[in-house]
Structure 1
Amino acid sequence: MPRNDDRKFQAVTAFQRRILNPVMRRIPFQTALETTGRTSGLPRRTPVGGRRVGDSFWLVSEHGERSQYIRNIRANSRVRVRIGGRWHGGTAHVLPDDDAVARLRTLPRSNSAVVRLVGTDLLTVRVDLED
């Protein structure tokens, strides 16, 4: 029998993949993370919430290692982040030792609340920006 976390993960990812992400990707000022597909080699854009702090962009993945963009980062850490409508290149670092719940307290409240609500395995990511 599937665990509650498995059911939650399946329901949330289905909603995000089919409804939420296609709409959010089209909003020009929505923050987005662009990774390279580990199998296809094609750019993959995911709407994210997070915050720029100096030359870094911080975010928390709600499904940790199960997130496709985390798997893509593990295969190729070169990414781009759209912040305020402008793309920035950078290198992503998955930080399993960071306290993701504490990190969410430093990020935008509305997104952090949703991540805590729907998340099944929180994982911090830092992107070191180049420009």
Structure 2
Amino acid sequence: MTRNPDLKYRVVSAFQRRIGNPLLRRMPLQTLLETTGRVSGLPRPTPVGGRRVGDSFWLVSEYGERSQYVRNILANPRVRVRIRGRWHTGTAHLLPDDDPLARLKTLPRLNSTAVRALGAGLLTVRVDLDG
């Protein structure tokens, strides 16, 4: 897209915030990660691509700690994940020592391709789901 990572981040973030995320949030089977806003305290649902493996849900943040939902996780790791239309509560963990490119190979292909193409500063996130 561009060689300037800050411009790339601003363009992709603006598109996601204004167009992509509002549309995807309305799709009943879209996977959502709901964090608590670190300033507002309000629920912040974000469409994500990932995969449930046992009692954990794995995803890769395309902008690492620059992503708003990752900043919210740093402030409060308690989250909810909507998988196939059903909500699950859990605790999110940021895994900077995990290889996000290798992790993407285990996650849904379409989303992984987009994250690789658009992202910079990838970061693996694991959500340990409650009971």
Band of TM-score, shorter chain: over 0.9
**Deviation (angstroms), 1:120:** 1.1
Q: Which runs of 4+ in 1 moved over 3 A?
A: none
Mapped to 1, the partners of 2:13 and 2:97 lie a distance apart of 24
Q: Which whole-Å CA distance do the structure 2 matches of 1:77 and 1:65 have between them?
A: 13
- Could you report, residue by residue, the CA deviation over 1:31-80 in whole angstroms, capped at 9, with x for unpaired residues? 00000000000000000000000000000000000000000000000000
Aligned residue pair count? 129
Q: Per the alignment, in what secondary structure is the counterpart of residue 73 of structure 2?
A: helix
Alignment of 1:19-98 (within 5 A): 19-98=19-98
Distance, in Å, in 1 between the alignment partners of 2:30 and 2:121 is: 23
2:91 is paired with a residue whose SS is strand
Identity %: 74
TM-score, normalising length from structure 2? Answer: 0.97
CA RMSD in angstroms, aligned pairs only? 0.7
Matches of 2:114 and 2:121 in 1, distance apart? 13
Q: Deviations over 1:16-39 (max 9, x none)?
A: 000000000000110000000000
- Counterpart code for 1:130: D
Equivalent-residue separation in structure 2 for 1:111 and 1:25 (angstroms) = 15
Output the CA distance in 2 between the equivalents of 1:122 and 1:47.
16
**Ranges in structure 2 where 5+ consecutive residues have no aligned partner:** none
Shift of residue 121 of structure 1?
1.0
Distance 2:36 2:71 in 1: 10
Tell me the equivalent position of 1:99.
Answer: 99
